[in-house]
Amino acid sequence: MTDEATRRRASMNATFAGRFAAARDRLGPLVLGADPHAPLLGAWGLGDDADGLERFADIVVEAAAGTAGAIKPQSAFFERHGWRGIRALTRLVGEARSAGILVVLDVKRGDVGSTNEAYAQAYLGPGAAIRSDAITVHPYLGLAAMGSYVDRAHDAGGCLFVVTRSSNPEGRPIQGAITGRGSCVAQQVLGDIGAINARLAPGRIGPVGAVIGVAAGASELDLAAASALFLVPGVGAQGTTPGDVARMFEACPGRVLPSASRSLLAAGPDPAALKGAVASLNAEFRAALRLVCSGTG
């Protein structure tokens, strides 16, 4: 590589999109969903308490290291055990990042003004209490109110995944409502994401991504135009296959972060068995996303 190419590569890797691309090329696009719900803790022989969460954290970080490019802890299952649960989450996130695993913290926060600034300080950028590489947020109070998250994510080489279209049918009435611009709410959110990304990262994948569930009708969204990464949760558990994901994102297969939790965690608690499940599904996704399109986004 020339010096210029090296510099450009280093600069790309400093963005979340660049770091994800490197992980995807090395291991695959799969995100390991870390959802320590009560039945899972029981099935793994762990207590349904903070100690159980601490053990869960050890196991999933060990399993993810070297097999998953990213991990997605679901905050709810840690909040359920109060501040001790959050302490376990904090350790999980820190150790995962130390092991070179991208952390997408699924918190789905969203408020207005200085409250968003506080949430952003909690989870993004230097000095954050639970510093993550990316978090999920709600758009109901307006994407334009999310400036604090966007700025901190962009400055820190992080990413903000905005809940845009869910796979659950209960989400249709709001997400399918028609806005003043004549598009559905989900498309308008996607358009707003694209506008932010075009401003902050012209010609590249920007720091604002979208959470998109695989569901009928979602193909009406103009996914490629948003210059965004797509977090696609619930793969496996809800009957969604890698092929379904590949078909939905055929215009931009390299931008997809499919996330699976239950279907993978069922292989635990043996870390080696978990690693096998992650590696196997990662291979399926690499194959499926290439089958549709050989590009990388």
- Provide the annotated active-site residues: 108
When the beta carbons of 133 and 284 are compared against a copy of itself, the nearer one is 133
Q: Which is nearer to a copy of itself, 23 or 50 (CB)?
A: 50
- Write down the least CB distance from residue 192 to a copy of itself, Å: 8
Provide the minimum distance between the beta carbon of 1 and a copy of itself in the complex, in angstroms, as a whole number: 40
* Closest distance to a copy of itself from the beta carbon of 280 (Å): 24
Indicate the residue among 81 and 275 with the shorter CB distance to a copy of itself. 81
Q: Which residues bind a copy of itself (CB under 8 A)?
A: 35, 37, 74, 76-77, 79-87, 89-90, 108-116, 118-119, 121-123, 129-130, 138-145, 163, 166, 168-181, 184-185, 188-189
* HEC string for the chain: CCHHHHHHHHHHHCCHHHHHHHHHHHCCCCEEEECCCHHHHHHCCCCCCHHHHHHHHHHHHHHHCCCCCEEEEEHHHHHCCHHHHHHHHHHHHHHHHHCCCEEEEEEEECCCHHHHHHHHHHHECCCCCCCECEEEECCCCCHHHCHHHHHHHHHCCCEEEEEEECCCHHHHHHHCCECCCCCEHHHHHHHHHHHHHHHHCCCCCCCEEEEECCCCCHHHCCCHHHCCCEEECCCCCCCCCHHHHHHHCCCCHHHEEEEECHHHHCCCCCHHHHHHHHHHHHHHHHHHHHHHCCCCC
Taking the least distance from each CB to a copy of itself, the nearer of 42 and 295 is: 42
CB of 150 to a copy of itself, least distance (A): 13
